[in-house]
């Protein structure tokens, strides 16, 4: 198919116009050096974010969120939107949480220790808490 000279110039002009437009509007890629501290900080932030996400994956945490009326998926989306500083603070709070299920076990253990001490003191005759214990004279 043969175009007329005017059509060829017009197509060539449009092609050059769009080529120039693309060259002007496209931003050149910039590469910079990343120092080791920045790379390590970025990796540490990624690990902390994953730690918080793993915390929200736990079944007991999801049940508590549902009791509060928060969907677990919504909570995870909010965690993804947190800044690095907020993730650091949240991960620090997770580390400071008690590892046990609560204070009930601690209270029961403390009560048993107190009772044992009182029984020993009663046997030695220092106290008179339990009347059914024979005292050493």
pLDDT digits (tens, 9 = 90+) for 20-77: 888 888 877 778 888 888 888 888 888 988 888 888 888 888 888 888 887 888 888 8
Q: What is the mean pLDDT of the chain?
A: 81
Tell me how far apart the alpha carbons of residues 82 and 51 are, in angstroms, rounded to a whole number. Answer: 13
Residue 35 CB neighbours (<10 A): 9
Number of domains in the chain: 1
Three-state secondary structure call for residue 51:
helix
Residue 128 counted as domain residue = yes
User: Is residue 71 in a domain?
Assistant: no
Pairwise CA distance, residues 124 & 137, whole Å? 8
Is 117 among the domain residues? yes
8-state DSSP, 13: H
| Helix, strand, coil abundance in the chain, percent, nearest 5 | 70, 0, 30
In degrees, rounded to 5, the angle at the alpha carbon of residue 46 between the alpha carbons of residues 45 and 48 is: 65
Residue appearing with tokens 């549902």: 66
* 86 domain-assigned: no
- What does the pLDDT read at residue 99? 62
- Model pLDDT, residue 113: 82
pLDDT-derived band at 102 (thresholds 50, 70, 90) equals low
- What single DSSP character describes residue 82? S
Residue 109 belongs to domain spanning:
101-137
Average pLDDT over residues 124-131: 77
């Amino acid at each position: 198919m043969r175009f007329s000279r005017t059509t060829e110039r017009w197509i060539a002009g449009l092609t050059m116009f769009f080529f120039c437009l693309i060259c002007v509007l496209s931003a050149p890629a910039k590469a910079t050096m990343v120092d080791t501290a920045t790379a390590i900080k970025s990796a540490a932030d990624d690990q902390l974010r994953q730690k918080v996400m793993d915390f929200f994956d736990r079944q007991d945490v999801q049940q508590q969120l549902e009791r509060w009326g928060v969907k677990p998926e919504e909570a995870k989306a909010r965690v993804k939107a947190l800044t690095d500083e907020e993730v650091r603070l949240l991960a620090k709070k997770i580390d400071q949480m008690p590892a046990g299920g609560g204070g009930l076990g601690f209270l029961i253990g403390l009560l048993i220790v107190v009772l044992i001490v009182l029984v020993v003191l009663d046997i030695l005759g220092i106290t008179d808490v339990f009347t059914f214990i024979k005292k050493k004279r």
